[in-house]
Amino acid sequence: MSTPPAEKASLRRQPNSAKSQQRVRDILRVGREVLAEKGYERATTTEIAQRLAISEATVFSYFASKRELCVLIISDWYDEIIAEVEAKLPRHASVREQFEFIVINHLRLFLLNGTGLCALVLSEGRSHSQEFGDTLIKLQRRYTSPLMEVLARGQETGLIRAELPLRLLRSMVFGPMEHVLWDAVLAEHPYDIETTARQLSELLWSALTPPHVDVAALLQFRYEVDQASRKFKASGAPQPDGGASEIELTLRS
């Protein structure tokens, strides 16, 4: 389920030496802190430079504008989240278990380091800037790819409503999650994101499944048996009754 990285905005000047490469990393790190604390409008490259004890001209020698710096910061942040989701997604789990993992970890990771960066991404995601909009579209395609694959597998196995297009299902999932994230950002009291995430996962799953839940459960069982049977045959283990596997014999009895 891994997805290729999206192209990032290029730096104004590529750092060639180890010192300049470290300088870029420092600017991105402190830039992330300032943007998370103050948001895009109130953050300034002057403050970023002051915190690093460098001149503002040094910042602009690598980044053409504050917007470009913001785009690269958000790109790096998305890369970190995508890498963690792809690394920890339970590959052999059921469709529902994978769906629950994606929902819960989306909400958890977006708020992992506080609400500041989450608010920045949510607000700048609605920006009319073409530069940021194009970058965000590519990032979101990468980010939603695991969910889209899980939803597609759910439709193939009858667990998820097949009459609805995947793009609509994606919106059904990410729309409510964005509202939950805004609630967490704006909350004036501690927000129990873990409990909320599990409750939302249950709610979304019930909306995605076909009306006849018992049929969906039977289809899931049939799919899992079929997968297990194929693995058993591929293992080369001796099969009784003219080639039928133990699993198939059990189902026939």
34, 35, 41, 46 alpha-carbon torsion, rounded to 10°: 40
* pLDDT score of 217: 66
181 close to 122: Cβ distance less than 8 angstroms = yes
* pLDDT score of 215: 64
pLDDT band of residue 7 (cuts 50, 70, 90) is very low
62 against 215, higher pLDDT: 62
Rounded mean pLDDT of 1-29?
Answer: 71
Mean pLDDT for all residues in the chain: 84
196 against 211, higher pLDDT: 196
Percent of the chain's residues with pLDDT above 70: 80
Distances (CA, A) of 4 to 72, 127, 140, 143, 145: 17, 25, 12, 10, 10
* pLDDT score of 236: 72
* pLDDT score of 126: 67
Checking if the pLDDT of 163 tops 70, the result is: yes
pTM of the model: 0.74
How far, in Å, CA of 72 to CA of 232, rounded?
A: 47
Six-digit token string for 227 = 């997968």
Checking if the pLDDT of 106 tops 80, the result is: yes
* pLDDT score of 120: 87
Checking if the pLDDT of 102 tops 80, the result is: yes
* pLDDT score of 128: 57
Checking if the pLDDT of 251 tops 60, the result is: no
How far, in Å, CA of 83 to CA of 80, rounded?
A: 5
Checking if the pLDDT of 49 tops 70, the result is: yes
Checking if the pLDDT of 42 tops 60, the result is: yes
Rounded mean pLDDT of 157-186?
Answer: 93
Checking if the pLDDT of 2 tops 60, the result is: no
Checking if the pLDDT of 173 tops 60, the result is: yes
Rounded mean pLDDT of 54-74?
Answer: 92
Distances (CA, A) of 117 to 128, 195, 247: 19, 21, 50
Checking if the pLDDT of 12 tops 60, the result is: no
Checking if the pLDDT of 17 tops 90, the result is: no
